[in-house]
Each structure stands twice: as structure tokens, then as C-alpha cells.
């Protein structure tokens, strides 16, 4: 009789343990999915801030470029052609800033990043390899 109770109790405990393990696995999956969504939202917010910053910079740089353009044209009209020389590099800078703020720069960068991840994986290796729990713990203990 004691072995029947013990056997029944053991199977109930095993069943409860399996249910608890399944619950923990489902909970970990939900937590990971939430973490992925949260990290993606943070990435999107950071990227939108970067794009907004680029758009703000182009407003100021556009004003600066306009002053340089007018000065270069005025100087060239007075016979000093060298006054227009700064327009060449500033034009490239303005084009880059405009592309970053309103153009396809981010799309081209994304395509190149995907190319690097696909074809040049060795460029992404972390020095000394990926950190492990043991290496992190050793560093933490060394600081104490």
C-alpha cells in the first residue's frame, strides 16, 4: 500500500515538474519575444532621432552653404575666381547631408551591411571572441 501511494505521489510530482518546466519555457519564450520587440522599438527610435538630427543639420548647413555660395559668386564676379573654390568641397558635403536626411543613404548603408554580414562575416568577429559568463565573472571579481 505504501508503495502504491509513493508511486502515485511520484507520478504526480513528475507531472507537476513537467508542467512547471513547460510553463517556465513558455514564460522564457514570451520574455524573449518581448525583449526582441522592445529592442527593435528602441532601435527604431534611435534611428528616427538620427534621421531627425540629419534633417536639422541640413537646415543649418544649407544656410551656411547659401552664404558661402553668395560670397563665392560675388567674389568671382569681382574678378577673384579663387573665391568660388570653397564651393566644390562644400557642395559634396551638402549633397552628403541631403542624402543622409532625405535620400537613400540609409538604404544603401543597410544593403552594404547585409552584404558584409553575408560575405565578410570574419570582419564582425569580436576581439578575444564572444564574452562568456566565466570571463565576465572573472572581470567582475578582479575589480573587487
Give residue 13's pLDDT: 86
Cα radius of gyration rounded to whole Å, the chain: 31
Percentages helix, strand, coil for the chain (3-state, rounded to 5) are 90, 0, 10
Distance CA 72, CA 50 (A): 31
Q: Once rounded to an integer, what is the mean pLDDT over residues 18-47?
A: 95
- Which pLDDT band, with edges at 50, 70 and 90, does 5 fall under? low
Does residue 128 come out as left (phi exceeding 0), alpha (psi in the -120 to 50 range) or beta? left
| pLDDT bucket at 40, cuts 50 / 70 / 90 | very high
pTM assigned to the model: 0.69
How far apart CA 17 and CA 31 sit, in angstroms, is 21
Q: What is the mean pLDDT of the segment spanning 113-126?
A: 93
Amino acid at each position: 500500500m505504501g508503495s502504491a501511494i509513493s508511486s502515485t505521489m511520484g507520478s504526480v510530482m513528475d507531472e507537476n515538474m513537467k508542467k512547471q518546466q513547460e510553463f517556465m519555457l513558455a514564460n522564457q519564450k514570451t520574455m524573449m519575444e518581448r525583449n526582441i520587440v522592445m529592442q527593435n522599438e528602441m532601435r527604431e527610435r534611435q534611428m528616427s532621432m538620427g534621421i531627425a538630427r540629419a534633417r536639422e543639420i541640413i537646415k543649418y548647413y544649407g544656410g551656411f552653404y547659401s552664404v558661402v555660395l553668395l560670397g563665392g559668386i560675388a567674389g568671382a564676379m569681382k574678378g577673384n575666381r579663387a573665391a568660388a573654390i570653397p564651393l566644390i568641397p562644400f557642395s559634396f558635403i551638402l549633397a552628403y547631408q541631403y542624402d543622409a536626411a532625405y535620400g537613400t543613404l540609409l538604404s544603401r548603408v543597410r544593403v552594404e551591411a547585409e552584404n558584409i554580414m553575408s560575405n565578410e562575416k570574419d570582419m564582425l568577429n569580436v576581439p578575444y571572441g564572444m564574452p562568456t559568463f566565466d570571463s565576465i565573472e572573472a572581470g567582475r571579481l578582479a575589480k573587487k
